[in-house]
């Protein structure tokens, strides 16, 4: 499974890239706002660091505006993926951009039927938001399983990859991987939580202490 990093913070992207854990990056207007940087400039800067897909989201709710913005965003770098919302206008934009060989990430997906539409219209990625479903008492993981199942049944016609979004914990990352998601987009803090385990720390401390007792030097 590929790991996309859900952030617009350049230093976070650089640090995780050095670990070899960044297959791509996803951004949204909220993350751009938190970065405090110019939208186009931050996307351009990310593209200079990351060679994998970088999702940049449109800022309109009208289909033609989304299409126009998507065309402009795609000019920033050849690895830009245009992010559009799962609305009627967003689906129109998805179809048009995909037909023009521009990769599209359809975001804010909350049902398998929505995902089916996006797949039919040529989306490169579908982004089901599992954490937000969990927040309202609906198991988000079930949505990943349903979409993966539908896409697998219709894999001759649907090439869309399932990009699990709104990840809230390391457990959810392993769960969506087990469910067959192609990608998980993960906040940096969750990546670092995945690395850490108390038993790893205890075991390492024991090994280092015992090594000192040998009196040897490497």
From 24-28, 32-36, 52-56, 157-161, the region with the lowest mean pLDDT: 32-36
Instruction: Report the distance separating Cα 124 and Cα 154, nearest Å.
Output: 15
Find the mean pLDDT for residues 105-124.
Answer: 98
Asked if 186 contacts 6 with a C-beta cutoff of 8 angstroms, the reply is yes
pLDDT tens digits along 180-194: 999 999 999 999 999
What's the pLDDT band for 37 if we cut at 50, 70, 90?
A: confident
pLDDT at residue 69, rounded to an integer: 97
Asked if 46 contacts 77 with a C-beta cutoff of 8 angstroms, the reply is no
Residue 83 catalytic?
yes
Which conformational region is residue 29 in: left (phi greater than 0), alpha (psi within -120 to 50 degrees), or beta?
alpha
- For residue 47, pLDDT over 90 is answered with yes
DSSP string, 139-184: -HHHHHHHHHHHHHHTTTT--PEEEEBS--SHHHHHHHHHTT-SEE
Find the mean pLDDT for residues 56-69.
Answer: 97
pLDDT at residue 72, rounded to an integer: 97
- For residue 80, pLDDT over 90 is answered with yes
Q: What percent of the chain has pLDDT over 70?
A: 100
Instruction: Report the distance separating Cα 91 and Cα 146, nearest Å.
Output: 20
Find the mean pLDDT for residues 104-110.
Answer: 98
User: Which residue in 34, 37, 83, 120 is the catalytic one?
Assistant: 83
How does the average pLDDT of the chain come out, rounded?
A: 96
Exposure letters 3-30 (e unless 16+ CB within 10 A, then b):
bbbbbbbeebbebbbeeebbbbbbbbee
Map out the domains of the chain with their CATH numbers.
2-209 (3.20.20.70)
């Amino acid at each position: 499974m590929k790991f996309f990093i859900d952030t617009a913070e350049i230093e976070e992207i650089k640090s995780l890239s050095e670990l070899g854990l960044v297959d791509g990056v996803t951004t949204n207007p909220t993350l751009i706002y938190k970065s405090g940087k110019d939208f186009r400039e931050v996307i351009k800067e990310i593209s200079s660091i990351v060679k994998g897909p970088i999702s940049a989201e449109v800022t309109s709710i009208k289909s033609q505006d989304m299409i126009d913005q998507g065309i402009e965003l795609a000019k920033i770098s050849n690895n830009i993926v245009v992010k559009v919302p799962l609305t009627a206008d967003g689906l129109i934009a998805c179809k048009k951009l995909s037909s023009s060989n521009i990769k599209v990430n359809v975001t804010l997906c909350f049902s398998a039927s929505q995902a089916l539409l996006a797949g039919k219209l040529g989306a490169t990625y579908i982004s089901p938001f599992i954490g937000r479903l969990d927040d309202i008492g609906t198991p988000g993981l079930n949505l990943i399983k349903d979409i993966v199942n539908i896409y697998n049944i219709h894999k001759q016609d649907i090439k869309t990859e399932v990009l699990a979004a709104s990840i809230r914990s390391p457990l959810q990352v392993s769960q969506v991987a087990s469910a067959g998601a192609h990608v998980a987009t993960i906040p940096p803090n969750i990546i670092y939580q995945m690395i850490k385990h108390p038993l790893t720390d205890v075991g390492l401390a024991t090994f280092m202490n015992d090594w000192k007792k040998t009196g040897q030097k490497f």
